[in-house]
Homo-oligomer: A and B are copies of this chain.
Amino acid sequence: MAENKKFVEAITSMEEDFAQWYTDVVKKAELIDYASVKGCMVIKPAGYALWENIQHELDTKFKETGVENVYMPLFIPESLLQKEKDHVEGFAPEVAWVTHGGLEPLQERLCVRPTSETLFCDFYKDEVQSYRDLPMCYNQWCSVVRWEKTTRPFLRSREFLWQEGHTVHATAEDAENRTVQMLNVYADFCEQVLAIPVIKGRKTDKEKFAGAEATYTIEALMHDGKALQSGTSHNFGDGFAKAFGIQYTDKDNTLHYCHQTSWGMSTRIIGGIIMVHGDDSGLVIPPRIAPTQVMVIPIQQKKEGVLEKAQELRERLLKVGCKVKVDDSDKSPGFKFAEQEMRGVPIRIEIGPKDIEAGKCIVVRRDTREKIEVELSELEAKTREILDTIQKDMLERARKHVAAHTYQAANYDEFCDVINNKPGFVKAMWCGDQACEDKIKEDTTATSRCMPFEQEKISDHCVCCGKPATKMVYWGKAY
């Protein structure tokens, strides 16, 4: 695409139309392109590099907890999908079916995996024999397909990339511990690496995963006040084990059903990065996940020594582990600034003849646009310090945003008023009856996001029906 077409048109502002802003950013920051298959996306280099960094960070953490990677087939025979009743009911309406292999019809339809519980269970039923084999903690990185009606890049697409961990344990307690452990891995990753604060909690039965005994979730709040389910961890109890016959022989030679978990995070989280941190100039990527952390932009680059100096700064920063590039293309500096802002590069460094003479450079923060004069002798130390500061400040700002957009409601009038007029989370009590969730969804489109681990008492009674409350729930409109 001709360079000047890319960035000269401004993107829609967030205030004007948040959905259009999102679509503009996704396209103009060159994260994705639409594909010829409706509802699928082409993930472009800038988008995929983000996913590679996410993979690397998560994969390292998984392996530290004893997880090993495997690869299961793409296809699930229809009869296998049907083995666990709740599971098939949840997924069958949205799977893609393969009916022909080559020129011939298949004897049995195969669905393209929407998730792989059934495949892992079919594998584990033979693989697990003795208590010595447990726990078995496998994960796979792959794509899955869900035939959604309405789609949006990263947030809801017919195919998306993710990881799905599947573990088998001897006891209910071990399975519960692993479920919570992985939720904490996700939560720490979001907060520490992506600078996205999350609410940890348990899903109500209405919102839990098809076939799970309990689903835990991390919920993040986007800039527009809508919630994004950002990662889930499921405890299956022994439900799948019973449906598939996954048993082990204990030390005392008795047979027991296994207890299982699964947990996943997907490319959806890239939508979260965009909607938590982005602004009207484009993406803002947290330093710890940025494919390029520093872009050196030479000013008057045709003047003698400027490009050489820019390259020298790059070399120096590379040596201390910064991900740094030089933009030595023949675009104007102003254009390069706009381009790097659109792409969300955390820091740009401007260096021109006058700076060189003064032994300085200008460091500009993407998140605040603050310009910082840095002595060249202090380049490495200052750059790393500023990257750390950006990372901390981004998390802090996002936390403040959540705090400022979290409300509470003690009765239904209050609840409806807040949920309809103040985008954000609403904390309110619930009786535990699904009828109240259904009514709230119908009246307001809001859903229960989670029953947070950190419970508070907002009132004594269910915000909807007025009966005695059992749980405090975070409610919100969600992606």
Give chain A's interface residues, CB within 8 Å of chain B.
Answer: 1-3, 33, 35-37, 40-45, 48-49, 51-52, 68-77, 80, 93-103, 110, 112, 119, 122-123, 126-127, 129-130, 132-133, 138, 142-143, 145, 147, 158-159, 161
Known pairs A2-B130, A69-B52; A94 contacts B102 (CB<8 A):
yes
Asked whether A93 and B103 contact (CB < 8 A) given A40-B74, A130-B2, A142-B143, the answer is: yes
User: Top 7 closest A-B pairs, CB basis?
Assistant: A40-B73, A101-B147, A45-B68, A43-B71, A97-B100, A102-B147, A35-B73
CA distance A310 to B142 in the complex (A): 37
**Inter-chain contact B98/A70, CB cutoff 8 Å:** no
- Chain B residues in 8 Å Cβ range of A158: 101
Measured between C-beta atoms, what is the minimum distance from A270 to chain B in Å?
Answer: 12
Q: Is the CB of A42 within 8 A of B123?
A: yes
Min distance, Cβ A471 to any Cβ of chain B, angstroms = 33
Q: By the criterion CB–CB under 8 Å, are B127 and A1 in contact?
A: yes
Q: B143–A74 contact, CB under 8 A?
A: yes
From B33, B69, B97, B161, A123 is in contact (CB under 8 Å) with B33
- Chain B residues positioned under 8 Å from A132 (CB to CB): 2-3
Contact between chains at A69 and B48 (CB < 8 Å): yes
Please determine whether B98 and A102 come into contact, CB atoms closer than 8 angstroms: no
A71 and B99 contacting across the interface, CB-CB below 8 Å: no
Shortest beta-carbon distance, A85 to chain B, in Å? 18
Which of A33, A70, A145, A147 is most buried by chain B, counting CB atoms within 10 A of its CB?
A70
- Asked if B40 contacts A75 (CB within 8 A), the reply is yes
Question: Can you report 10 A-B residue pairs in the complex whose CB atoms are below 8 A from each other?
Answer: A2-B129, A2-B130, A36-B80, A37-B76, A44-B70, A48-B70, A48-B71, A96-B101, A96-B110, A97-B98
A157 nearest CB neighbor, chain B only: B73
